[in-house]
Structure 1
């Protein structure tokens, strides 16, 4: 990408067409209050904290041939169809039978009673996805069957097409590495990050690498709090209207938590019409 070596973060407006807004989305049943999450702290996912178990019940782990590789978010489609929102680069050069989805997890190192594994029926990447430039880095996996959502550990997320607000504190969750050299985290972590303006991201990465129509970025100028390897496909979320709303998915960055190099996310607003049309197709 224009001479810059990027670390890809993986193992290697309201209305029908602007929001995925199924009743009950973006909430939890374990009593966790999202308003208690940190807003602008700087304590040194990287620089985060262990999430309250099952407080983000739409979060899933993607296993490629039995190995945890990426993350994603459970979405509710039409006609009892269920989907996982993730990063297109996670699926690149793979086939459907390579994948299994782990729902209801908190600690990936143990066999939890809340965990459910579901096979993938179909996978599709955004039609404008460019693997080399990571433009439109959004994908969907359709589940082979419906998950058991009549329990607190598994529920579905909201995806919003509303534009992001620079400076708004949002949150990333993941089982990714807690430093550039470490192994993935066993337990789900959460970190807060301010959304940056599109012009600031473009100034940092250049217009050849930062594609404003399909990307957003978030991070602190001093670094130290970030998503990292194995976090790809996980949600970037903002607490709005009493619930968590997904505004992007983890895509790429220059290292992890480096000063002046915020992580870049595939924009939900840039993909919302394709997401809605795909999960509601008959």
Structure 2
């Protein structure tokens, strides 16, 4: 490795480390400013701070290494939003005891943020992949991207990106739901399949065909849906199954979009396919 790439890698790691430390510092400060009922040990606080660090580290590493901005901007927006809501909401209070365990009432925004860092990070990675497809395929700022392949992607690469990111979202959602609802193996597989499918369809449509509408519809519904799960945890996962049906809707919409654009707009896949029009 030549000196310049080494310096670039070192710089990216430094930026990512600073981003991770900033996230961990903010979360630790918010959790220790009061006697936070859900954090009853140093180990518990360290685990939450580590989750916040990983969220910030990976998000900033992606941005520093590739010049994809959505991951870092999204992580900062999440942190600022959680901080604002935490500071303007009533503090959690211990209101009683049952079976040797405290009964706690109140919002736990920063706790849920740090405890569910994996799902939040997976959504930021989805945003990063979408940004890559939009900038590489449609041109805005494509020349500023670094260390990323050109389009069209090889089928194996496309499948790896889509399956990897969608699978991460699915696994993170299963881990979240498992905290409030007991999932058997069958339930976990169903939740995973629904969430992974609804994530994979718009990413595959964008990276494979340049379809935009499935990604737009995904953005309108799925991130908000999962953020509600993060911050307002429910005791049932049945409603998550609706995302499986939504995945089918997105697939149909993507097919209709590509056919409509091909028939009425002369769309041949652009930079996303091997059949780019030389004109």
Q: Judging by fraction of residues, say which structure has more strand.
A: 1
Task: Please identify the structure whose Cα radius of gyration is greater.
Answer: 2
Q: Judging by fraction of residues, say which structure has more helix.
A: 2
In the superposition, the TM-score normalised over structure 1's length comes to 0.22
